[in-house]
Amino acid sequence: MPELASLLENPAPRRALAAAAAPDVEIVVPVYNEAAGLEQSVRRLHRFLSDGFPFSWRIVIADNASVDATPDIARRLAITLPSVRHLRLEQKGRGRALRAAWSASPAKVVTYMDVDLSTDLRGLLPLVAPLMSGHSDLAIGTRLAYSSRVVRGPKRELISRAYNRILHMALRAKFTDAQCGFKAVRRDVLDGLIGDVVDQGWFFDTELLVLAQRRGLRIHEVPVDWVDDPDSRVDIVHTALTDLRGVARLLGGGPIAKFMGIGVLSTLAYAVLYLVLAPLLGSLGANAAALAITAVGNTAANRRFTFGVTGRDDLARHHVRGALVFILTLALTNGALAVLSGLDPDPSRTLELAVLVAASLTATITRYVAMRTWVFSRERRSIRPSLDLVSR
């Protein structure tokens, strides 16, 4: 027993052991001061998985800085139950615990569930199966689907629905339930995703989902049966405020905000170029030249920062399409100049510039839609060949 305990506590040989017997699915249970219900929940989960779960599996108890008897209970469970591991972190944060456990996992699919097992465990197979087959990249349980069966108080119901509505409005989230503690990710897509997640607490998985959606990853939703835990350790008010700060941060770093920022800089550059070139080329010539120069920079900046496209692949195609969008803007601004000329045969440069900027801003929405849906559209990703779904 001392040798086994030493192996579990020493990370180097534990990693070697994990690599030698990589499971299909690793279920992470993040815990903080859960001594009261930890053993009962883990044993219940272990029995469920042992009773015919069709993929090889491992349970990891991710203890993030508990100060009660949780670490001792977790170590004992790791010693006495097959395919149970204990991960100890000395800093708090559910996101930090998930990041550490998932990043070190050799499994094909990594999942997590709340220690209270509020979600019906029969939802686990529908959660991971689309990821094992290669059909989807992430999967989440949702308590807000019509077919879900949920038992919880009106306060938590209201907060949950309001929070998800905020995500839909502010971040254009397509998923329905960001907070359900029942999620899974394919391990091969995690490395390019988790490093960009900033939050270390409760907002971690919401941020993960938003970034995944922005990158075109496929998110599968599973309606779940869920019963509220009256002994939950979650501080609802504090968590809600933290989540709202996270939403504000993601909103500021979202594609629309980046597009607007690049647009402001492009407009300033355009204004300077127009004022410099107008005496030499005339109004129409200066407008065309200033738009052409700034359009190249605008397309390049949006390619890199707004839509996250890097490398030389499709670079020429993107700029050709951007040039066609530029022609649309040129037509709108020249049309505005023509209208102004009809109203005032000799307008001032300042008035001309104001009309051109107004016309350019009018074209901004069309330009964003064109860039998002056409210029930088992502080709439909091919589905990877299905992995082995035969029961083990």
Which residues neighbour 35 within 8 Å (Cβ) at sequence distance 6 or greater? 66, 68, 69, 70, 73
For 120, how many CA atoms within 13 A lie in the half-sphere containing its CB? 14
Which one from 205, 235, 314, 388 is the annotated catalytic residue? 205
Q: Which residue type sits at 285?
A: G
Of 116, 97, 94, 118, the closest CA to residue 40 belongs to 116
Per DSSP, the residues of 266-321 read: HHHHHHHHHHHHHHHHHHHHHHHHHHHHHHHHHHHHIIIIIS---SSTTHHHHHHH
Of 85, 70, 67, 100, the closest CA to residue 4 belongs to 85
Q: Could you tell me if 340 and 356 are in contact, meaning their C-beta atoms sit under 8 angstroms apart? A: no
- How far apart are alpha carbons 36 and 310 in whole angstroms? 50
Q: Could you tell me if 28 and 97 are in contact, meaning their C-beta atoms sit under 8 angstroms apart? A: yes
Supply 308's token pair.
């996250």
Phi, psi of 254 (to 5 degrees): -80, 170
Q: Which residue type sits at 95?
A: G
Helices (H) and strands (E) in the chain, counts: 14, 9
Of 109, 128, 136, the closest CA to residue 384 belongs to 136
Q: What radius of gyration do the chain's Cα atoms show? A: 27
- How far apart are alpha carbons 215 and 225 in whole angstroms? 29
- How far apart are alpha carbons 234 and 109 in whole angstroms? 27
Whether 205 is catalytic is yes
Tell me which residues are annotated as active site.
205
